[in-house]
Amino acid sequence: MNTINPFSDPINGIFLALSMTFSMFWEILWALILGFTLSGIVQAVISKGEMSRLLPDASPKSIAVACGLGAASSSCSYASVALARSIFCKGGNFTAAIAFQFASTNLVIELGIILAVLMGWQFTLAEYVGGLLMIVILVFLFKVFLKPFVRELLI
């Protein structure tokens, strides 16, 4: 591998640093744009009543719906955080919104396909089982420790 010594060749070193900076900027920017665009769409299109009907509580049905929506969504962490916040602000249950966030980073379908191709079905299965286990633990912990007055503080 040919490396550039920035002290012996400062022009190439500066060019390399600027190109790496732009590359990192782009990797973060597109994810932020995607996340805030999807969040804006949820805010603009979905009514508070519809979200309250879709994810009204932390019941197994609501958590399953949140996990299904998360698995079908983007695996981008920025997008999942923005969408989970929009779900909660639009009237969805807080626990269901966080379950959506976990599912959108751990149960994503396209990520599973890539993992299966690159690492094998065993790793993919472990990813999905681990993601579901994290969601079950999260729901249990929220049920035990998250009191209703804390939910109001989160808004």
* DSSP structure class, residue 75: -
Q: Distance of CA 22 to CAs 25, 78, 127, Å?
A: 5, 19, 32
Average pLDDT over residues 99-117: 88
Q: What's the pTM?
A: 0.75
Q: At residue 38, what is the residue type? A: L
Per residue in 16-63, pLDDT (tens digit) is: 889 999 998 888 887 778 777 877 888 888 888 999 899 999 999 999
Q: At residue 70, what is the residue type? A: G
Q: Distance of CA 100 to CAs 8, 33, 75, 132, Å?
A: 51, 19, 11, 11
The region of weakest confidence among 1-10, 35-44, 49-58, 121-130 is 1-10
Q: How many CB atoms lie within 10 A of CB 129?
A: 10
